[in-house]
Amino acid sequence: MNYDLIVVGMGPSSVFLAYELINTKKYKNILLIDQGKSVEKRYCPISKTNKCMGCKPYCNITCGFSGAGAFSDGKLNSYHLSSKDSDGDIYLGGNDGGYIKKYMPKDEIFKLLEYTDNIYLKFGADKELKGINYKEEILELQEKSKKQGLNLVSYPIRHLGTEKAHILYGKLQKYLKDNGINMLFETEAKDLIIEDGKVKGVKIHDIKNDICKDLFSDKVVLAVGRKGASWLSDICNKYGIETKIGSVDIGIRYELPDKTMAKINKYLYEGKFIGRPFPYRDKVRTFCQNPSGFVSAEVYDNGLTLVNGHSYKDKKSTNTNLAILVSHHFTHPFDKPIEYGENVAQNLNRLAGNKIMVQRLGDIYRGRRTWEEDLNNNSVKPTLKGAVAGDLTYGLGYRTMTDILQFIKDIDKVVEGFAHPDNLLYGPEIKFYSNEVVLDKDFQTSIKGLYSIGDGGGLSTGLMMASASGIQMARILSKK
């Protein structure tokens, strides 16, 4: 039970770490563990049952080989130097693309992203880049946005589509297996073994056989994603691992007709609007836009059900969905952004019988809840079957709701129909990032031999950046 390296989690950050270590040939005995299943066994029953079945022991959308990547929309964002954030800084993805900028110069990050993109291409990613044509039309939309105090970010996107993402990660799983990487599925990391400030291994629970074991290694990488953010926070508290107060993104999934979004979908594929709406001036952004897509539900720890969205390469709806997220940063004495987000999610889940809640925009304006029959008569039909009609204003919090409604009105001046009363809001959509785990330049935590990569510790916020953080981790480890 001794390994040269143990990686907790098998999301894209972990997969790309293992891929790159095979190339360097430095580590012989590598173990990856995940509480979910291998990619071919991952299946979300909602397409048949029309409602989230709360898969046990873990949600198939977020857990297993390739983590949240397997059922993701598979939008690979190729950021470039001219993509600017609303604050004039280079845009590297939602929530600033994570903290990787703190540990690497930007030009190196771009080289790393290019390298990572080439691996995705090698394993079958679509060669076509969206968002690079229509320069004049994009500029016109950007000028219009600027007048409303909005920044419309444009950058090239490679779109895998959910079903193709599954196939691509399947090929990567085979590649890792064929090259001797050990993988334990349906196995959860319960705890770490830490002695004298050094990591010694991982305490695991084999879920299927209900056996607990200790596995040893003096190098452990935590790649637990947003799914494991809460677990990571507990581990940091238990072992005094240094962290900084992080943030939480709280909001809704917005669904509207493709025809309203036609220009944005055609010119940019994904319209990344960022603004600081009146009166709070919080950072609000659109995120993960899915033309002709489907709204989905995913179940997190503590049984929390959160909304998300994706789109297939072939199967199409007539709606576009996108997240509208408000970044919340708390200051002393409150230092628990995850708990804050969990409370919001819990309230909304309870109000909707542990399902996702949906409400018409027009009903929010009129100060009334939405009823099932309102949805039946609505021009925009919900693509998430089983979402419960209700009143989001009971649970989202005044500040978040005000930010979102003002932001929708601002975008409406750029995209006519964006604030149409029949458009749908689903909640809660929350992006948990654990408190920022403080790392040195080698992504090492304050515990010797213990590293953190990917979305979980806040280093990344999307597929490309998470994968790139894995590659960088491999390069660092191969020099040790």
Ligand X SMILES: Cc1cc2nc3c(=O)[nH]c(=O)nc-3n(C[C@H](O)[C@H](O)[C@H](O)COP(=O)(O)OP(=O)(O)OC[C@H]3O[C@@H](n4cnc5c(N)ncnc54)[C@H](O)[C@@H]3O)c2cc1C
Where does this chain bind ligand X (CB under 6 A)?
8-14, 33-36, 61-64, 67-69, 71-75, 77, 188-189, 223-228, 231, 288, 296, 298, 308, 310, 454-456, 460, 462-464, 466
| C-beta separation of 36 from 12 below 8 A | no
Smallest separation (angstroms) from ligand X to the CB of 38 = 11
Joined tokens for residue 276: 């600081």
DSSP string of 225-292, one letter each residue: TTTTHHHHHHHHHHHT--EE--EEEEEEEEEEETTTTHHHHHHTSS-EEEE--TTT---EEEEEEETT
| Residue listed under structure tokens 């845009």 | 91
Smallest separation (angstroms) from ligand X to the CB of 92 = 11
Q: Is the dihedral of CA 401, 406, 411, 417 positive or negative?
A: positive
| C-beta separation of 119 from 16 below 8 A | yes
Strand-pair partners of 7 = 32, 221
Smallest separation (angstroms) from ligand X to the CB of 450 = 14
* Nearer to ligand X among residue 220 and residue 419 (C-beta): 220
Smallest separation (angstroms) from ligand X to the CB of 140 = 26
* Nearer to ligand X among residue 395 and residue 456 (C-beta): 456
Residue 209: partners with Cβ closer than 8 Å, 6 or more residues away: none
* Nearer to ligand X among residue 61 and residue 408 (C-beta): 61
* Nearer to ligand X among residue 71 and residue 443 (C-beta): 71
Task: Tally Cβ neighbours within 10 Å of residue 86.
Answer: 18
* Nearer to ligand X among residue 69 and residue 395 (C-beta): 69
Position with the least CB separation from ligand X: 225
Smallest separation (angstroms) from ligand X to the CB of 289 = 9
Smallest separation (angstroms) from ligand X to the CB of 207 = 10
What's the rounded Cα separation, in Å, for the pair 420 and 41? Answer: 41
* Nearer to ligand X among residue 110 and residue 410 (C-beta): 110
Instruction: For residue 144, give the amino acid letter.
Output: K
* Nearer to ligand X among residue 11 and residue 277 (C-beta): 11
Smallest separation (angstroms) from ligand X to the CB of 309 = 7
Strand-pair partners of 153 = 272
